[in-house]
Amino acid sequence: MVLAMRLDGALIKKLREERCWSQEQLATVAGLSTRTVQRAENAGSASLESRAAIAAAFGLSSAELTRKDVDQNVTDAVALPRMAMDRRPGERLVRQGFANLQRGWETVGGLICLTSERLRFDSHAINVQPGRTEIRLAEIETVRPCWTKFLNVIPIFPNSLAIHVAGGKEYRFVLWGRHHWKKIILAQSAAAKARAAG
């Protein structure tokens, strides 16, 4: 019999405290409610999506937050692959997730990663236009919700996030929880600009 996976609440609390985050701050970074974070820490329970969000907030996979006294053959269906990054000194992973990036007529699928210094998108190799896109947070001017466009022309659904950078360039990402992403990107961008100015 396969045991249900339980989160390691003590590990979540330890990782949170190492970053000097309150439960409310972890909830904001993960795009979850404070109550969900409390349940994860105290009872070790959360939905698959919440597990993935908490893990991504720490730059880990869901499996790395699983208690070691349960069956490790159980897999988490929505665990994010760990993004191999050439992090710079002092740079920390803030959030990552699945996303699509509008590149001309093609909406390219891949992984998006927000650090304390940049926003990085790595497309899947199967796309017509594969490759990496990096946006320095200090160059971000505005972040706003917008419509996803079919062939980059016909608006089809309001689930995208437009990021405008210095020089007038715009990047459009389709991602889950775009309002949480917007809040976190703006906060990290403001912090990056303050560091650059100081």
Instruction: Read off the pLDDT of residues 137-181 as tens digits, 9 standing for 90 and up.
Output: 999 999 999 878 776 667 667 788 999 998 889 999 988 788 888
Task: Give the span between the Cα atoms of 122 and 134, in whole angstroms.
Answer: 9
Cβ of 151: how many Cβ atoms within 10 Å?
A: 11
Q: How many residues does the chain have?
A: 198
Same domain, 97 and 189: yes
Residue 82: what pLDDT? 47
Same domain, 121 and 166: yes
Same domain, 113 and 150: yes
Same domain, 60 and 98: no
Instruction: Kindly state whether residue 88 falls inside one of the protein's structural domains.
Output: no
- Higher-scoring residue by pLDDT: 55, 33: 33
The rounded mean pLDDT for the chain is 78
Instruction: Kindly state whether residue 74 falls inside one of the protein's structural domains.
Output: no
Residue 68: what pLDDT? 55
Q: How confident is the model at residue 128 (pLDDT cuts 50, 70, 90)?
A: low
- Say if residue 116's pLDDT is above 70: yes
Instruction: Kindly state whether residue 98 falls inside one of the protein's structural domains.
Output: yes
Same domain, 164 and 122: yes
Residue 78: what pLDDT? 38
Same domain, 116 and 170: yes
Instruction: Kindly state whether residue 46 falls inside one of the protein's structural domains.
Output: yes
Same domain, 97 and 59: no
CATH of the domain at 60: 1.10.260.40
Same domain, 97 and 151: yes
Q: Which of 25, 114, 14, 104 is nearest to 65 (CA)?
A: 14
- Go through 108-142 and write b for each residue having 16 or more CB atoms within 10 A of its CB, e for each that does not: bebbbbbbbbbbbbbbeeebeeeeebebebbbbee
Q: How confident is the model at residue 101 (pLDDT cuts 50, 70, 90)?
A: confident
Number of domains in the chain: 2
Instruction: Kindly state whether residue 85 falls inside one of the protein's structural domains.
Output: no
Q: How confident is the model at residue 69 (pLDDT cuts 50, 70, 90)?
A: very low
**Full domain range(s) for residue 174:** 93-197
Same domain, 41 and 123: no
Name residues whose C-beta falls within 8 Å of residue 126's C-beta, 6 or more positions apart in sequence: none
Same domain, 122 and 176: yes
Instruction: Kindly state whether residue 45 falls inside one of the protein's structural domains.
Output: yes
Same domain, 102 and 185: yes
